[in-house]
């Protein structure tokens, strides 16, 4: 039974049983404390904890998930994968334990001919929470399971919570017995390799508080509405139904594994280490494909870092299988073909997805090449110094700065007969992870308890009137100070104010929040920010500038009209620039993010190279022609499917409901899903002036523009500068560029001549330097400060010349100088000095320490520097002292 068929049977079964079928949410979670949708219940959390009223009583879905906390286990077990699909059925105050158990047992054990999954009853075991007599009794009554196949486990295994105060409850897990070949008898309590969990039924019935750990908390009572949250692992059911040993061999994953086998020329099933690598590749490539399809792009932070890590682990695994060249064109194509029936977007958006994947592989292959060069130098220096271990700091630098995998560092070191200080590396990694966890924890604390908004959201969605009105009368529904609900706020306090209606736009879709005030009888509030803390609810962060505001009082929101007008211009300009980009570069130049505020817009798009000046001018001209043509701007609210069928573009990462707002500028020329505020006709934008174009990733570019009056003021300022230059240089405007280029050439020639004079001046000092040589220990030593020098290269050249003049006896030259206000010391040694133990790199480090900096280099010539120019005499003395002890 194919994976897609299992999913469809699941949805058909629950639809037949009056469940609303909900499409999968994005892998990019709405929850700001999560990078990804890590479990099937994540999109339903607002309904489960009562923050947002559920739009249906019962639902079912197939949810895409990404989880990387067990990434080191991928490929080693039958069930660990970073991307997985969770089948879920949900009840919000409707059916409870009996219904959940009945539905699960019926679907699992009904014959395939009747639309079920056809599991044999004898192969199924269940676990229940140790005190849940009700669930145990229902399993006996509904499924006829004998007591010995119903095992009771404690909180660690069979009690669910979010880890925060709120809803929680016991759960019941269903296991499949894979048979004696996979482990011991005795059920899931004894061996969870043989007995594989396939479905978890969570009975959310209690409220908990004082959460001290996963198993240590206080139950404070029953919930008014008991909910059902279930999750069945699609991949786990698939590998059982398809008769294979693990999820990597199922129909949606195996094609990637097979292609990796073909590319490597090795055999799957022959060597355990190779098998693990093949599975890692199959899993990680599929996960990367799905993340890319949801708009995540590789980067060095957040979600992009996780994606980059998955992709680079795949490349590394292929390298360990003997493949050094590009593989992603083959591997991603295989994954696309395996997943496109379930997720058509991977095919329809293939051009963009493949562009990112191939660019990332090319970048990392270059990283491996450059990292190998740096590592080779570290190996050489370690050996030359008589060491046997590469410093953990060096290995961490390669990993953290260059993305060079630690296992490759270990491999190269071993080939060179060295080890790596793994303890130091692991300590640095632990410190980095601790910092990341602390940062994540602080973010989670900042938004930890959204339940405070539930009482306001339960009264309905906040009505936004700002599309048509700049002032709206309403009522104060609630006031929060420091996250706590209060009755009133007075002068000087910062508070959140919840209203029934508002004309103030809440930040979303790239458009920043409106500015304005909220006024009422005896009070005035300055609006600092407007946000949507939970879907459908608008919160105004305000400063009470006069009077006192209380719950239940009348309130009028007043939008700053000038700021709103400029923000509308910027947002509409963003749509025009997007359309102009697609006209100029083609349909693959898709939006990857935007920001609009009064007078300014920035737009990120998928593109792999810098735009030429001619291309930027063309984009700017197309956008401004659209302004000139005074195109009509229209908005329509319609079903999402209808909008997509009409060609409306959606922003990756944005969440859309079943009904959306579509904005047209000039009809289909610019047609996007957008909830932002816009001008009525394009001429209202006034002017668009591109002021920047830059890279924001391997395959992402960013254009920035000023809009309206801000664009005019910028161009007027440039005009004034040009006028000043034409006057100062006494050159016509059309000849200005040539005149400046001529002046630059003259300046460069003059600088070259000055450098030549300075170098000759230094060279003239050579005889005196040689004459200053003194004997230190067994070495002839020159240790002199040159004063100011044009470049470190000049100092190096003089040091080498002086060394050669000292003959074949052991000689060391240390010259100091100030280059561009920073001190530099160059050390040169000859063969005899090195044979006697004087190494330039060691001496340069000693000098640099006195300068408050660092240094090093080869044994024959090295350089150090720092920040304290006054310490040059001490730095040269440090070289002499080091030689005296040699």
Taking the chain, what is the end-to-end CA distance rounded to the nearest angstrom?
A: 77
> 247: closest CA among 260, 234, 235?
235
From CA 833, how far away is CA 814, in angstroms rounded? Answer: 13
Q: Are 650 and 644 in contact, with CB atoms under 8 Å apart?
A: yes
Range 412-436 average pLDDT: 81
* Average pLDDT, rounded, for the chain: 89
Cβ neighbors of 148 (< 8 A, separation 6 or more) are 187
What phi, psi does 90 have (nearest 5°)? -135, 140
pLDDT band of residue 698 (cuts 50, 70, 90) is: low
For residue 437, pLDDT over 90 is answered with no
> What is the predicted pLDDT for the residue at 47?
87
SS3 string of 731-754?
CCHHHHHHHHHHHHHHHHHHHHHH
Name the region of 586 (left: φ>0; alpha: ψ -120 to 50; beta: rest).
Answer: left
Which value, to the nearest 10 degrees, does the dihedral of the CA atoms of residues 165, 25, 661, 554 take? 0
Q: Is the pLDDT of residue 657 over 80?
A: no
* DSSP per residue, 803-869: HHHT-SS-EEEEEEEEETTEEEEEEEE-HHHHHTT--HHHHHHHHHHHHTS-EEE-SSEEEEE-S-G
Residue 70 has phi, psi (to 5 degrees) of -110, 35
Determine if residue 80 is labeled as part of a ligand binding site.
no
Confidence of residue 303 (pLDDT cuts 50, 70, 90): confident
Q: 65: annotated binding-site residue?
A: no
**Secondary element (H or E) of residue 689:** strand 688-695
* Calpha distance 462→854 (Å, rounded): 60
Contact 61, 79 (CB under 8 A): no
Q: Which two tokens mark 809?
A: 């006896």
Distance of CA 812 to the CA centre of its chain: 51
Residue for token pair 């609009």: 596
Q: Which residue has the higher pLDDT, 72 or 603?
A: 603
The pLDDT value given to residue 265: 94
Binding residue per annotation — 19?
no
Q: Count CA atoms within 13 Å of residue 701 on its CB side.
A: 18
pLDDT in tens, 268-296: 999 999 999 999 999 999 999 999 999 88
- Model pLDDT for residues 342-387, shown as the tens digit of each residue: 999 999 889 889 988 998 898 888 877 777 777 777 888 888 778 8
Query: If you ran DSSP here, which 8-state letter would residue 2 be given?
Result: -
Q: DSSP secondary structure string, 590-627?
A: -EEEEEEETTEEEEEEE-SSPPPHHHHHHHHHHHHHHH
At 106, the pLDDT band (50, 70, 90 cuts) reads very high
3-state secondary structure of 559: strand
Q: What is the helix (H) or strand (E) element at residue 136, kind and residue range?
A: helix 133-138
When pLDDT is cut at 50, 70 and 90, the band that residue 80 belongs to is confident
Asked whether the predicted pLDDT for residue 440 surpasses 70, the reply is no
What's the pLDDT band for 470 if we cut at 50, 70, 90? very high
Examine the pLDDT at 267 and tell me if it is beyond 90: yes
- pLDDT band at 654, cuts 50/70/90? low
Residue 524's SS3 state is strand
Contact (Cβ atoms closer than 8 angstroms) between residue 853 and residue 867? yes
Residue 444: predicted pLDDT: 42
Token match 């630059």: residue?
744
Q: Which of 795, 840, 802 is nearest to 816 (CA)?
A: 795
* Nearest Cα to Cα of residue 803 among 824, 820, 784: 784
pLDDT average, residue stretch 301-319? 88
pLDDT top residue among 561 and 214 = 561
Q: Give per-residue pLDDT as tens, 148-168.
A: 999 999 999 999 887 778 889
- The pLDDT score that the predictor gives to residue 309 is 87
Report strand pairing: 516-520 vs 463-464. Answer: unpaired
**Residue 779 marked as a ligand binder:** no
Question: What is the C-alpha separation between 306 and 756, in angstroms, rounded?
Answer: 52
Residue 606 has pLDDT above 70, yes or no: yes
Helices (H), 703-791: 709-729, 736-763, 766-771
pLDDT over 90 for what percent of the chain? 57
Model confidence at 635: pLDDT above 90? yes
* 343, 799, 826, 828, 848 from 863: Cα distances, Å: 57, 11, 5, 9, 8
The pLDDT score that the predictor gives to residue 534 is 86
Pick from 156, 170, 167, 19: nearest CA to 87: 19
- Report the C-alpha gap between 764 and 425 in whole angstroms: 50
CA distances from 522 to 209, 435, 528, 551, 613 (A): 40, 47, 20, 14, 57
Q: What pLDDT, on the 0 to 100 scale, is given for residue 445? A: 39
Pairing, β 548-550 against β 501-502: unpaired
What is the rounded average pLDDT of the residues 567-582? 96
Q: Which parts of 410-515 are beta strand (E)?
A: 419-420, 463-464, 471-481, 484-486, 488-490, 494-499, 501-502
Contact 229, 48 (CB under 8 A): yes
pLDDT digit string, tens, across residues 523-533: 999 999 999 98
pLDDT at 446: 39
> Burial code of 436-475, b = ≥16 C-beta within 10 A, e = fewer?
eeeeeeeeeeeeeebbbbbebbeeeebebbbeeebebebe
pLDDT tens digits for range 200-235: 999 999 988 898 888 889 998 888 889 999 999 999
Q: What is the rounded distance in angstroms from the CA atom of residue 783 to the CA atom of residue 785?
A: 7
Instruction: Return d(Cα 257, Cα 444) in angstroms, integer.
Output: 38
Q: Determine the pLDDT at residue 656.
A: 67
Q: 3-class SS at 319? A: helix
Does pLDDT of 706 surpass 90? Answer: yes
The 3-state DSSP class for residue 585 equals helix
Q: What is the largest CA-CA distance in the chain?
A: 105
Q: Percentage of the chain with pLDDT > 70?
A: 96
């Amino acid at each position: 039974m194919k994976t897609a068929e299992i999913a469809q049977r699941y949805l058909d079964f629950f639809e037949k049983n009056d469940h609303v079928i909900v499409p999968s949410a994005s892998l990019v979670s709405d929850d700001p404390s999560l990078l990804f949708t890590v479990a099937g219940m994540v999109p339903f959390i607002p309904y489960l904890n009562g923050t947002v009223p559920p739009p249906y009583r019962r639902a079912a879905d197939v949810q895409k998930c990404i989880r990387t906390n067990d990434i080191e286990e991928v490929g080693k077990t039958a069930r660990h994968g970073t991307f997985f699909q969770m089948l879920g059925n949900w009840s919000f105050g409707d059916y409870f334990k009996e219904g959940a158990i009945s539905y699960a047992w019926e679907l699992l054990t009904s014959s395939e001919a009747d639309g079920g999954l056809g599991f044999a009853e004898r192969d199924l075991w269940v676990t229940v929470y140790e005190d849940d007599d009700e669930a145990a009794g229902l399993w006996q009554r509904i499924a006829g399971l004998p007591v010995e196949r119903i095992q009771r486990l404690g909180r660690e295994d069979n009690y669910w919570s979010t880890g925060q105060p709120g809803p929680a409850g016991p759960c019941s897990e269903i296991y499949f017995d894979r048979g004696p070949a996979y482990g011991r008898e005795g059920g899931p309590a004894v061996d969870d390799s043989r007995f594989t969990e396939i479905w978890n039924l969570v009975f959310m019935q209690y409220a908990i508080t004082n959460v001290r750990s996963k198993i240590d908390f206080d139950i404070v009572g029953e919930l008014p509405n008991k909910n059902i949250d279930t999750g069945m692992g699609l991949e786990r059911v698939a590998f059982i139904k398809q008769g294979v040993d693990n999820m990597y061999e199922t129909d949606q994953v195996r094609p990637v594994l097979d292609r990796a086998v073909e590319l490597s020329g090795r055999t799957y099933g022959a060597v355990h280490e190779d098998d693990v690598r093949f599975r890692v590749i199959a899993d990680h490539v599929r996960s990367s494909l799905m993340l890319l399809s949801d708009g995540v792009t590789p980067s060095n932070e957040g979600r992009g870092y996780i994606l980059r890590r998955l992709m680079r682990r795949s490349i590394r695994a292929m390298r360990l299988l003997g493949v050094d060249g590009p593989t992603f064109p083959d591997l991603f194509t295989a994954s696309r073909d395996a997943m496109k029936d379930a997720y058509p977007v991977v095919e329809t958006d293939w051009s963009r997805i493949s562009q990112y994947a191939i660019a990332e592989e090319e970048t990392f292959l270059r990283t491996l090449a450059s990292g190998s060069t740096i590592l080779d130098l570290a190996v050489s220096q370690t050996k030359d110094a008589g060491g046997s271990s590469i410093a953990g700091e060096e290995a961490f630098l390669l990993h953290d700065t260059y993305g060079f995998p630690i296992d490759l560092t270990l491999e190269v070191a071993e080939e060179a007969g060295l080890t790596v200080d793994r303890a130091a590396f692991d300590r640095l990694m632990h410190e980095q992870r601790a910092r990341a966890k602390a940062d994540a924890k602080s973010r989670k604390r900042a938004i930890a308890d959204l339940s405070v908004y539930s009482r306001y959201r339960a009264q309905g969605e906040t009505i936004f009137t700002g599309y048509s009105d700049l002032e709206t009368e309403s009522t104060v529904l609630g006031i929060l100070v420091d996250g706590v609900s209060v009755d009133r706020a007075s002068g000087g306090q910062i508070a959140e104010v919840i209203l029934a209606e508002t004309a103030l736009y809440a930040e979303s879709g790239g458009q920043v929040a409106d500015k304005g005030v909220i006024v009422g009888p005896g009070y005035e509030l300055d609006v600092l920010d407007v946000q949507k803390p939970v879907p459908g609810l608008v919160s105004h962060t305000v400063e009470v500038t006069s009077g006192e505001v209380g719950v239940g009082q009348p309130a009028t929101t007043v939008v700053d009209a000038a700021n709103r007008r400029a923000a509308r211009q910027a947002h509409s300009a963003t749509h025009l620039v997007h359309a102009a980009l697609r006209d100029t570069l083609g349909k693959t130049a898709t939006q990857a993010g935007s920001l609009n505020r009064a007078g300014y817009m920035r737009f990120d798009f998928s593109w792999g190279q810098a735009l030429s000046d001619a291309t930027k001018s063309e984009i700017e001209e197309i956008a401004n022609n659209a302004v000139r043509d005074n195109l009509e701007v229209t908005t329509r609210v319609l079903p999402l499917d209808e909008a997509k069928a009409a060609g409306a573009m959606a922003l990756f990462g944005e969440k859309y409901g079943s009904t959306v707002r579509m904005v047209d500028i000039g009809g289909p020329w610019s047609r996007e899903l957008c909830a932002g505020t816009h001008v009525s006709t394009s001429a209202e934008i006034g002017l668009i002036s591109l002021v920047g174009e830059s890279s924001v990733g391997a395959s992402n570019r960013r254009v920035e523009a000023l809009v309206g009056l801000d664009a005019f003021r910028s161009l007027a300022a440039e005009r004034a500068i040009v006028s000043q230059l034409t006057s100062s240089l006494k050159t016509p405007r059309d000849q200005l560029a040539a005149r400046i280029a001529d002046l630059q050439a003259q300046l460069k020639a003059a600088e070259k001549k000055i450098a030549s004079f300075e170098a000759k001046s230094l060279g003239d000092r050579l005889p005196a330097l040689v004459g200053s040589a003194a004997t230190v220990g067994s070495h002839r030593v020159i240790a002199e400060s040159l004063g100011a020098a044009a470049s470190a290269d000049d100092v190096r050249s003089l040091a080498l010349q002086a060394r050669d003049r000292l003959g074949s006896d052991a000689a060391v030259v240390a010259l100091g100088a100030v280059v561009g206000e920073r001190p530099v010391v160059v050390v040169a040694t000859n063969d005899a000095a090195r044979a006697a133990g004087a190494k330039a790199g060691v001496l340069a480090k000693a000098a640099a320490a006195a300068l408050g900096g660092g240094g090093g280099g080869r044994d024959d010539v090295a350089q150090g520097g720092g920040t304290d120019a006054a310490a040059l005499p001490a730095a040269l003395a440090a070289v002499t002292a080091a030689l005296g002890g040699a």
